[in-house]
Amino acid sequence: MVMINNKVKIKTTNLNVYYGDKQALNDVNLEIHSKEVTALIGPSGCGKSTYIRCINRMNDVIDICRVTGSIEIDGNEINKKEIDVVSLREKIGMVFQKPNPFPKSIYDNVSYGPNIHGLAENKVKMDEIVETSLKKAALWNEVKDRLNEPGTSLSGGQQQRLCIARAISVNPEVILMDEPCSALDPIATAKIEELMDELKKSYTIVIVTHSMSQAVRVSQRTGFFHLGKLIEVDTTEKIFKNPNNKMTQDYITGRFG
């Protein structure tokens, strides 16, 4: 039995997103529970990335993008002008499909965020943050003797774990992951999945994935999107054993794509 924690961390209500005239999300009402992994699935172009980019206001950087409706984190509205997006993104980390370490040393990749946000008063404290972040990301043992080498010198799977270390270095509350394993081999994927299991004890995680079995392995709840609409959201067990909606079933069983 999975423990289902019912505290809502993120809540979107009537969320609509437009890229110019094109509507990418249509009245999405979704509650994401605290300290759980929520998987978002659905065919390419259905709006999964658009959805998670709303949560840390990453869509702000796209000129033609317009977001309406409500996005609450811990009950506080974040879809309004007055919100300081820099401190919002400190609370909400993001990991992308392609590992994207900065062209800096492994150490600097992890210390970058804490530096900007002034989280370490001295070098000793910063060393500590870097070490714990790398340990939490299950990368420490592999890099502890080469912290000054460039982050880009790592393998793909290691780079992705470095990006996770970077995301958790600022001690966020939410981690958004957009297909974090799509470029990784099964071993690296397994390490990231194992890591998510560990991370969800402290963080709320939202993962976009095209792998149904990954969604089953890592998540407690799953939401299925289609053409910008949230079709069904339920416990992962329910979605993959016996979904309510025929469209969900046809998608996860490979009957349309």
Partner 1 sequence: MSDEAHIVKSYEEELQNLNDSLIKMGSLTESQLADSMEAIIKVDKESADKIIANDAKINELRAKIDNQIMTVLVKRAPMAIDLRITISTLKISHDLERIGDLAKSVAKKIKPLPHDLPKELIGSLRRLGDLVQKQLRNVLDAYLNKSKESAITIWKNDEQVDDLTNTAMNEVADFLGKSKKNLELATHLLFVTKNIERAGDHITNIAESLYYLIEGEYLEGARPKGKDIEKN
Ligand X SMILES: Nc1ncnc2c1ncn2[C@@H]1O[C@H](COP(=O)(O)OP(=O)(O)OP(=O)(O)O)[C@@H](O)[C@H]1O
Residues in touch with Mg ion (CB under 5 A): 49
Quote the CA–CA distance of 103 and 199 in Å, as a whole number.
26
Pairing of strands 221-226, 229-235: antiparallel
Residue 242 binds partner 1, judged by CB under 8 A: yes
44 binds ligand X (CB under 6 A): yes
Residue nearer to partner 1 on the CB measure, 20 or 256:
256
Query: And the tokens for 82?
Result: 């007055």
Which residue number, 91 or 210, has a Cβ lying nearer to ligand X?
210
CB of 65 to ligand X, least distance (A): 7
Residue 156 interacting with ligand X (CB under 6 A): no
Question: Which partner from the list ligand X, Mg ion, partner 1, none does 125 bind, CB cut-off 5 to 8 Å by kind?
Answer: none
241, interface contact from ligand X, Mg ion, partner 1, none, CB < 5-8 Å by kind: partner 1
Q: Which residue sits closest to Mg ion, CB atoms considered?
A: 49
Say how far apart CA 71 and CA 17 lie, in whole Å.
12
Pairing relationship of beta strands 221-226 and 174-178 according to DSSP bridges: unpaired
Q: Report if residue 182 touches partner 1, rule: CB under 8 A.
A: no
Strands 76-77 and 204-208: unpaired
Pick 4 or 62: Cβ nearer ligand X:
62
Q: According to the binding rule CB under 8 A, does residue 255 interact with partner 1?
A: yes
Per-residue burial over 153-162, b if 16 or more Cβ lie within 10 Å, else e, is ebeebbbbbb
Number of residues that bind ligand X (CB under 6 A): 12
Residues 97, 183 contacting (CB under 8 angstroms): yes
What's the length of the chain?
257
CA distances from 57 to 85, 116, 141, 252 (A): 7, 19, 34, 29
Task: Choose from ligand X, Mg ion, partner 1, none: what does 62 bind? Cβ within 5-8 Å by kind.
Answer: ligand X
Name the residues that contact partner 1, by CB under 8 A. Answer: 212-213, 239-243, 246, 248-250, 252-257
Binding site residues, ligand X, CB under 6 A: 19, 22, 24, 42, 44-50, 62
